[in-house]
Amino acid sequence: MGTHLGSKFIKLYNGYLLPSVGLGTYQLFGDSVREVVDKAIFLGYRHIDTAHSYNNESEIGEILKSRVDSGSIKRRDIFLTTKLPAVLHEPRDVLYCIEESRARLKTKYLDLVLIHNPWTLKPTDSKGGLQFVQFNLQKTWHSLETFVKEGSVKSIGLSNFTIGQIQNILEGCSIMPANLQLECHAYLQQRSLQDFCKARGITLTAYSPLGAHGRPERHRFTDQPVLLDDPALDSLAQAHDKTKAQILLGWLIQRGFCVVPKSKSDDRLAENFDIFDVNLNESELAQIQAMDRGIRYFKFKNMTGHPEFKPTEDF
């Protein structure tokens, strides 16, 4: 699954380096996202994860441009990931999306663009109505490939795809997916997807690596325990003089994942980045492996009935 360089970077199959700890920016807006990105860069984060649908690319672009213009960072040292939304899968819409994301992020190129979800949606009215559409995402993928060939996008990948949906892309692609982003944490360990991707040289990025405790109400269900409250983590944190969050992130890094935790707190931003010395032994790794419960925090129940929504499969 890519080459590990002192755990701080993962080498993608095309040679680019993906910083293994990134900043997640879902649900961060306006001044809040400006402050968090600025602080994260100061702390050493060099990977920023956003999406066209997060509505915060412009603010992230402002901070990055100001830091580059001031000379405190170089653009080539920042790894920018963004994502193509479900309503922009048509080839003409891919062009619009890439150009808009580049303009908002104030950059000539994007380091990684992911197809955010495999389920295609079509707007039906101006009030937010959406229609489920069956669409061959090989067409979307071919459009993304043209941007890689011209150099305005360095790498392309997928998010929330099942093994079958990844295979569909692999069967029709001329440029391989470099990365798969998926929900992954100790309660949802995603071993079958990891094995599948590892065999094909596709790296993995774990979103919600700490259990998505800040997720919106529509993704909250009564059968979802709080990962960070699990007592199994207490002894591990104590043994390593780390917080439970640092153990969970360090464990994913040790498994070869990139992680994109999110926080508004300066202390937690620093804590989430201070994980490269977490080194769990075999019995400790087995202890976390035993925590796997198949609990998904983002169930996407609003996609029920979509032909590409497959909740019984791993994604």
Number of neighbours of residue 204 by Cβ within 10 angstroms: 24
Who contacts 124 (Cβ-Cβ below 8 Å, separation ≥6)? 130, 131
Distance set, CA 306 to CA 18, 53, 83, 309 (Å): 33, 20, 20, 5
Q: What are phi and psi of 52, to 5 degrees?
A: -55, -40
Q: What are phi and psi of 82, to 5 degrees?
A: -135, 175
What is the rounded CA–CA span in Å between residue 219 and residue 306? 18
Number of neighbours of residue 308 by Cβ within 10 angstroms: 20
* Active-site hit among 45, 54, 207, 297: 54
Who contacts 70 (Cβ-Cβ below 8 Å, separation ≥6)? none
16 is catalytic: no
**Gap between the terminal Cα atoms of the chain:** 17
What is the rounded CA–CA span in Å between residue 269 and residue 243? 13
Q: Are strands 9-11 and 3-5 parallel, antiparallel or unpaired?
A: antiparallel
Task: Report, as residue numbers or ranges, the catalytic residues.
Answer: 54
